[in-house]
Chains A and B, each alone.
Chain A
Amino acid sequence: MPTTTDTLPITSGDDVVRVRQKVRVRATEIGLSLVDQTKLITAASELARNTLDYGKGGHADIETVLGDRRGVRVIFRDRGPGIPDIPQALTDGFTSGNGLGHGLGGARRLVDDFDIQSIVGAGTTVTIARWKR
């Protein structure tokens, strides 16, 4: 069961920093190890930047999950152009912008749960979670 959700806008570089800081607070509270915290925050940073650069802005929902599994879940939503070929977008080295393309594929490796839903012309939603072990 998720607890209260923090919803943060992602419309500037400063917002990406705020998402990182908020994810850190949640990850520390729930007691993720330092390495797990760092991986989750890094993944969140990659995805927040994707939301800003490719999704033309959006927002992040950050929640603590309590129950059988305890952890932190972050959902990134944008109403950007969407991703036509998700498997390709998850390939290392793929980029539609000017990045090196480590964003999506790299972020997926840093978390326990990774889900991506995208509709061309309507937007993209990426959900990640890291669980306490």
Chain B
Amino acid sequence: MDSIPILKIGSALLVTIQVDMHDQLATRLQDDLTEKIVQHRARGVLIDISALEIVDSFIGRMLANIANVSRLLDADTVVVGMRPEVAITLVELGLGLPGVKTALNAERGLALIGGVSAAGEAADDADDD
């Protein structure tokens, strides 16, 4: 069965969702991430959904679950790159994703969880607007 790769950057985990996920794949990602948070003692999880054309209630629930579980395991979750039309649709669907931190892009998301700097890899990229 296929799975979505989880990368480790400093003390953060990075997940880039690039496929139209079927439900089993989404569930598997949730399980894999939980395992990796503990395994790598991650302090943050960054989920890039910029390639996702839709987020329905199932995917929305998965994102909320990941955020809740990682919080209990002492890691922050930030969802980055949500497309504007996806945000509009989610709100109308009644899913405001409470408890899920968001950022416009991966750079800002990483800053929010301090993932890269914790590993000393930030290399002074201070040109953030």
Contacts and interface: CB of A to CB of B under 8 A. Distances in A.
Contacts of A41: 53-54
A13 B58 CA distance: 12
B22 A17 contact: yes
Classify the interface of chain B: helix, strand, loop or mixed: helix
A38 B86 contact: yes
A103 interface: yes
B35 interface: no
The size bracket of the interface on B is 20 to 34
A13 B53 contact: no
Contacts of A105: 94
B123 interface: no
A46 B53 contact: no
B18 interface: no
Interface in B49-87: 53-58, 60-61, 83, 85-86
B93 A42 contact: yes
Interface residues of A, number: 27
A49 B23 contact: yes
Interface string A107-128: 1011000000000000000000
Interface string A21-56: 100100000000011011101100110010000000
A106 B93 contact: yes
B92 A16 contact: no
A1 interface: no
A109 B93 contact: yes
B3 interface: no
Contact of B54 (A13, A14, A38): A38
Contacts of B94: 92, 102, 105-106, 109
A34 B89 CA distance: 11
